[in-house]
Structure 1
Amino acid sequence: MNLVKNQKALVLTNIENGLESILQEVTNIRPENMLTIQCYGPVISNPYGDIMRSIIIAIYQENVEEIFVVGKQDKENTSVKVLTQIESMKDKIQTLDYLFQYNRPEFSGVTVKEWLYGKENENASDNIKKCVNIIQHHPLVPSHVKVQGIIVSNEDGKPIIGEIPTNITVSNLT
């Protein structure tokens, strides 16, 4: 995981602070060579959405050579915990579900609630694998860009870094 001295790396990571510094220590990436995109998850829900757009622009404008998709393994379910105010949006969500079902075939979730919450049975490793594969197989990402999935877990208060094997394939990006 060591980069050449001046190569730039992009980190797609959870919104939680501190993961970048742990990754810097493990990979020896200099802070000035590390670009970070933070999101809840990390999840790329659409291969042509804003997160993927930011990744592609960073690759070409900043000459990114390596991308790390970093997530944190929690003991509890790692799906996004949406605020209790969601209940107040129940009617709006039902309306959007109806509209997306019949008018927006490019919508990436089955329902708005699934898109917003994430799938309940997916864990951090599953999300990282999917993100890595979406990036690796995206037609605008050059083949020379390395993409790795990394999971951070804590044992005895000490962070443990593990690489995620990413041998699944993404069936359709278009």
Structure 2
Amino acid sequence: MNLNENKKVLFLTDIENGLEPILQEVTNIRAENMLTIQNYGTDISHPYGDIMRSVIIAIYQENVEEIFVVGTKDKRTDTVNILTQFESMKDKIQTLDYLFQNCMPEFSGSTVEEWLNGNENIIDSIEKSFDVIRHHPLVPSYVKVCGLIVNNKDGKPSIVEVPT
């Protein structure tokens, strides 16, 4: 990948330490031109949520010309099943599950557990976020959106571009 070194680039990444130097090397973007929004997973669960708001503000305030949605494969830390920590809130979770299934179609997932765990298929997650950004009415058509997967297998990172 050989991008214009002077343009501003936004990376929407998973919360994973050490991604920025890898992305800087692969994209040939200087550190001062890189903006990063970190999230647990790469899901943009709502087109008018906080993550998308940050993306839009970065485009206009920082003159971002390109956005990379970056997923991480073979993470060094395992995902914790958060619901085991919420055993004392069983009644509330059942109520929320009812709302997820019957009243709030904009939630991603059909249960609280699915919503908290996010999309396990990294390619689907990147493609969904790509679509949300690319088709958002406040994102200018000149902003390029790409998907990348960082694979940390055997401690040697490699990058794969996700066709979108």
Structure 2 length normalisation: TM-score? 0.87
Q: Which amino acid aligns with 1:116?
A: L
Question: How far, CA to CA, are the matches of 1:5 and 1:152 in structure 2?
Answer: 21
Q: Indicate the residue corresponding to 2:69 in structure 1.
A: 69
The unaligned stretches of length 5 or more in structure 1 are 167-174
The unaligned stretches of length 5 or more in structure 2 are none
Match for 1:126 among 100, 124, 127?
A: 124
Q: Which amino acid aligns with 2:128?
A: K
Q: Indicate the residue corresponding to 1:82 in structure 2.
A: 81
CA RMSD of aligned residues (A): 2.2
Q: Secondary structure at the match of 1:69?
A: strand
Quick check: 2:123–2:162 contact (8 Å CA) kept in 1? yes
Q: Indicate the residue corresponding to 1:114 in structure 2.
A: 114
Q: Which amino acid aligns with 1:15?
A: I
The structural deviation recorded for 1:90 is: 2.4
Q: Indicate the residue corresponding to 2:133 in structure 1.
A: 135
Output one character per residue of 1:105-152: Cα deviation in whole Å (capped at 9) or x when no partner: 543432222211224xx4112211111121111111111111110001
Q: Which amino acid aligns with 2:81?
A: V
Q: Which runs of 4+ in 1 moved over 6 A?
A: none
Deviates more, 1:152-161 or 1:5-14: 152-161
The structural deviation recorded for 1:3 is: 2.7
Q: Indicate the residue corresponding to 2:162 in structure 1.
A: 164
Q: Indicate the residue corresponding to 1:144 in structure 2.
A: 142
Question: How far, CA to CA, are the matches of 1:104 and 1:156 in structure 2?
Answer: 41
Q: Which amino acid aligns with 1:96?
A: L
Looking at secondary structure, tell me which structure has more helix per residue.
2
Q: Indicate the residue corresponding to 1:172 in structure 2.
A: none
The structural deviation recorded for 1:75 is: 7.9
Question: How far, CA to CA, are the matches of 2:148 and 2:73 in structure 1?
Answer: 10
Percent of aligned positions that are identical = 72
The structural deviation recorded for 1:28 is: 1.0
Q: Which amino acid aligns with 1:158?
A: K
Q: Secondary structure at the match of 1:93?
A: helix
